[in-house]
Structure formats: structure tokens, C-alpha cells
Amino acid sequence: GENVEQHPSTLSVQEGDSAVIKCTYSDSASNYFPWYKQELGKRPQLIIDIRSNVGEKKDQRIAVTLNKTAKHFSLHITETQPEDSAVYFCAALSDGGYNKLIFGAGTRLAVHP
Amino acid sequence: DAMVIQNPRYQVTQFGKPVTLSCSQTLNHNVMYWYQQKSSQAPKLLFHYYDKDFNNEADTPDNFQSRRPNTSFCFLDIRSPGLGDAAMYLCATSRDQGQDEQYFGPGTRLTVT
């Protein structure tokens, strides 16, 4: 089955710096890769996603890149702000008969003013 | 304008005492999911319904059951909660299976005493 690895587990940056979180997946048939942001005590919320027919997608300060050959995808946050502090989860859609999301272990991002 | 509603937000139950968590949605989505999330970990899928079709994850304990009486509501029943079942329980919905965004509810934090 699908396995998703996420690095780093914690990331600390200064306000205004960029942050990069990387994930690798094992199932070459996976075709959908969402990123969720979860603030403390709150629900996970989708911030950006990418499908396998696209190599890069950008939404304001957030971008995601996908390398299908290497089976990895990354989240890039530019000009980080304190409100970006949260846990970020990557996920891959596994074609396990009913399309199941497999989550990475999460990255705790701290943005210091 | 809440789209996925979970009640209660906090639930305390005694060891071995059955408990039911509820989820409702106003999105008219076909798919409803139940996830268990323990502190600092990724959400773990317990089961999901595609319309009335129930799909149980292989490693979901028999202690966990679910009901979906209609499109809008889904329940999680824990027959005999153990201390290890203390967690945040997240309900999510998606319009369809596959590459559709999953919308998460706010979660129910379960404490077992």
C-alpha cells in the first residue's frame, strides 16, 4: 500500500523567511496530493493541492511542486508570517479501490516574529 | 455557515461505557469519513461511507462501529472505550471519492476516565 514520509518533523523560521516541507510517496499510481494546515485545537484545512498532471501550483505565498519520477512533492511558503505557525500535513491519494488519503506524519512550523 | 458539524465538541466517558459521537453535514456530500487523531499525529482513517456503502479499514478495532442513517448524519459508536481510545475524532466529507477535497469538522475530543 501507499506510504507517505514527511520531513522535517519540526521547522523553525524567522518571520519573512521561506519554509519548505518535503514529502515522498511510494505508490506510483497516486495521483492527487493535498496539503492540510492544522492550527492548535482546530480542524485540518486544505491549503493547496496538486494533481499528477501538473508539476507546480501556486496560490499567493504558497506553492506546491510535484516530481512524479522521483515520487516527491514539496510545500513552499514564502514571506512567512506568525499566523503560518501550525502543523502541516501532506497526503497522497492511494488508488486502493476507493481512493484513500494517506497522510504524512506532519511538520510543526513555528514562525518567530 | 458551518458545513461539517460535530457534537459534542468534548466528551468524557468512563472506561468501558459505550459512547456515541455524531457528525452532520450541510454539503450533501456522498462520502463521510471518521478519523482518529492522537496528539501530534496524523489523522488515522477508521472507516468511511460512500453513500450507504460502508468501508472499514483493516486495522480499525471491532470496538469501533459506525452508522449512517441518511445523507446528512453519521455516527461513531465506541462500544467499550479503553484508555487508549482517548483522542480527537474528526469527521470529514467529500463530494465524491477520488480527487475531491475532504472537508473536516471541528472534531470531538474524547476523554476516557
pLDDT in tens, chain B (113 residues): 669 999 999 999 999 999 999 999 999 999 999 999 998 799 999 999 999 999 999 899 999 999 999 999 999 999 999 999 999 999 999 998 777 889 999 999 999 99
Q: How far is A79 from chain B (nearest CA, A)?
A: 25
Burial B32-65, CB ≥16 within 10 A → b, else e: bbbbbbeeeebbbbbbbbbeeeebeeeebeeebb
Closest residue of B to A32, CA-based?
B99
* DSSP 8-state secondary structure symbol assigned to residue A82: G
pLDDT at A29: 85
Closest residue of B to A48, CA-based?
B101
* DSSP 8-state secondary structure symbol assigned to residue A13: E
Closest residue of B to A42, CA-based?
B106
Residues in chain B: 113
**Amino acid at residue number A70:** A
Q: Which residue has the cell 468524557?
A: B12
Q: Do residues B95 and B29 touch, judged by C-beta distance below 8 A? A: yes
* End-to-end Cα distance, chain B: 34
> Which residues of A are less than 8 Å from B95 in CB distance?
none
Q: Which residue has the cell 510517496?
A: A25
pLDDT in tens, A31-69: 899 999 999 989 999 999 998 888 999 999 999 999 999
Beta-carbon separation of B43 and A45 below 8 A: no
Q: Which of A43, A49, A105 lies closest to B90 in CB terms? A: A43
Using the Cβ of B97 and the Cβ atoms of chain A, whether some distance falls under 8 Å is answered with yes
pLDDT at A98: 59
Provide CB contacts within 8 A for B57, sequence distance 6+: B45, B46, B47
